[in-house]
Amino acid sequence: MSGLTGIVACETAISSIENGVLRYRGYTIDDLATKATFEEIIYLLWYGRLPNRLELTALKQDLLESAVLPKKIYDLLHLYEPWGNAMAKLRTCVSFLTHFDDEVMDHSFAADHRKAIRIMARMAAIVAAIERIRTDLEPIEPDAIQFTSLAEMFLWLLKGEKPEPLAAKALDVCLVLHAEHELNASTFASRVTVSTMSDIYSGIVSAIGTLKGPLHGNANEQVANMLEDIGDISRVEEYIAGKIARKERIMGFGHRVYKHGDPRAKYLKELAKELGEWRGDTRWYDMSAKIEQLVFAKKGLMPNVDFYSASVYTYLGIPRDLFTLIFAISRTSGWMAHILEQHDNNKLIRPRAQYIGKKHDQWLPIEDR
Ligand code: CMC
């Protein structure tokens, strides 16, 4: 089947999508989006159940203490060209982190969980440092500030000041919504990688490389490019009609699994509206809502998780080429859960291919070719 559409490639107890309902460990995304924090999601995904107060506090403490980066990561970040691709920078940094972890090849349950916490916390600190160093600002070290969540820490490290509670809360909801999504392309890549009994870092690096593509995680940045191109609500109709006439893809619409709407999109839409009103500028939200209406009317396609995230991140003042990196920070929780599940009951993932090329039974000597 082209693109493995509809193929069940593994069993998992981490998340499910059935009849358009997304659940993490059996809890619906509706409950999680409105009631859970990102740290609760991390615990739920990794340990299979919701944490009690003590367990949540301990996990938070571990995450926050683990966010401090090895000094040489900052040296590496200074070597990058400021204009270099931010996802490629993140991918290299995560690979580089391998060299500072003496438990890399220990695949025991306890060591895998310790590494998961280290990587999760450090990714957020790395993304913020990428931005600060490329804009000639001093990076802020996580142990120099007091924060209560990864979302708050990230925004603070990025901007150099304590974020408004609404901004931290909005980002937290985005992290919850992007955390896990069954056997999406990047998660599959991470499972394939660690099924060779390679290490967790390699699994995350494979996943980042896969998320980077515009048909997957990079769609959010492409949506922002589209909204900027359109510029004003008066141009939406002509712009979308042109795209449809040229048979171009409209980023942030359609989904391999959801054919009747992505259940995460409505929460991002609400957030985009709320943040736009908070910022006193609903232009991007208004254009997005109009695009949604037109694309549904003309193509029957509905927005996916990436569509309204573009406006949410823009209202949060996050540079556009970091959108996919935020997706990566969040999805690391899901990637990790799958890597841990794969290691727990490993079988090498090695499918077959149907050969459709020619057969040559006679060797052709070089002088006869
Ligand atoms: N704009 C225009 N047409 C589309 C779109 C779109 N966004 N999505 C699907 N279609 C059309 C497509 O042209 C095809 O039409 P036809 O049968 O006439 O050739 C039909 O719908 C089926 O599309 P497909 O590409 O075969 O379906 P798929 O399941 O392989 O694609 C998808 C899923 C997400 C790659 C696709 O919908 C797409 O390219 N969307 C835009 C990129 C995007 O937003 N990606 C984010 C996905 S969700 C979060 C994530 O994974 O990061």
324: domain CATH number is 1.10.580.10
What pLDDT is stored for residue 357 in this prediction? 97
Whether 357 maps to a domain, the answer reads no
304 lines ligand 1 (CB under 6 A): yes
Which residue CA neighbors atom 10 of ligand 1 most closely? Answer: 254
What pLDDT is stored for residue 2 in this prediction?
84
In a domain, 21, yes or no: no
CA 258 to ligand 1 centroid distance, Å: 11
- In ligand 1, the atom with minimum distance to the C-alpha of 307 is 44
DSSP string over 60-87: HHHHHHHTPPPHHHHHHHHHS-TTS-HH
**How far is C-alpha 17 from the chain's CA centre?**
18
- pLDDT (tens digit per residue) in 265-300: 999 999 999 999 999 999 999 999 999 999 999 999
Question: By alpha-carbon position, which residue is closest to atom 46 of ligand 1?
Answer: 216
Q: What spacing in Å lies between the alpha carbon of 319 and ligand 1's midpoint?
A: 25
Q: Using most ligand atoms within 8 A of CB, pick from 186, 208, 256, 262 the residue to mutate for ligand 1.
A: 256
Asked whether residue 40 falls in the same domain as residue 91, the answer is: yes
Q: Catalytic annotation on 178?
A: no
Question: How many domains in the chain?
Answer: 2
Q: What per-residue confidence (pLDDT) applies to 151?
A: 97
Q: Would residue 365 count as lying in a domain?
A: no
Is 48 buried (19+), middle (13-18) or exposed (0-12) by CB count in 10 A?
Answer: middle
Q: Which of 240, 255, 323 to mutate to test the pocket of ligand 1 (most atoms within 8 A of CB)?
A: 255
How deeply is 46 buried, as exposed, middle or buried, from its count of CB atoms within 10 A (0-12, 13-18, 19+)?
buried
pLDDT at 147: 86
Is the residue at 2 inside a domain? Answer: no
DSSP 162: P
Residue 239 lies in domain? 219-315
Residue nearest to atom 19 of ligand 1 (CA): 247
Let me know if 181 is a catalytic residue.
no
The answer as to whether 363 is a domain residue is no
- Asked whether residue 354 is assigned to any structural domain, the reply reads no
Look at residues 266, 300, 315 and tell me which one is the last residue of a structural domain.
315
- 178 CB less than 6 Å from ligand 1? no
Domain-embedded: residue 37: yes
Same domain, 178 and 263: no
Residue 2 Cα, ligand 1 centroid: separation in angstroms?
14
> 181 and 292 share a domain?
no
Two tokens, residue 29 = 């995304």
Q: Which of 255, 262, 338, 343 is catalytic?
A: 255
For ligand 1, atom 28, the nearest C-alpha belongs to: 256
Q: Yes or no: say if 330 and 38 are a contact pair by the CB < 8 Å rule.
A: yes
pLDDT at residue number 259: 84
311 and 324 co-located in one domain: no
**What are the start-end ranges of the H helices in the chain?**
29-35, 38-47, 53-66, 71-79, 86-97, 109-134, 150-159, 165-178, 185-194, 200-211, 219-230, 236-245, 265-279, 283-299, 305-315, 323-344
* pLDDT mean by block of 10 residues, the chain; 369 residues: 88 96 98 98 98 97 94 97 97 97 92 94 97 97 91 97 97 98 97 96 98 94 96 97 96 92 97 98 97 97 96 97 97 97 94 94 95
Q: What's the CA-to-centroid distance between 11 and ligand 1, angstroms?
A: 25
Which residues, 6+ apart, have CB-to-CB distance to 21 below 8 Å?
Answer: 28, 29, 263
**CA neighbours closer than 13 Å in the CB half-sphere of residue 36:** 27
Report if residue 180 sits inside a domain: yes
Same domain membership, residue 238 and residue 202: no
Are 124 and 205 found together in one domain?
yes
Helix axes 150-159, 38-47, angle to 10 degrees: 130
Structure tokens at 263: 């259940």
Instruction: From the candidates 306, 321, 338, 343, give the one annotated as an active-site residue.
Output: 306
d(C-alpha 369, C-alpha 365), whole Å: 7
Ligand 1 in contact with 184 (CB < 6 A)?
A: yes
Q: Based on the domain organization, do 166 and 140 belong to the same domain? A: yes
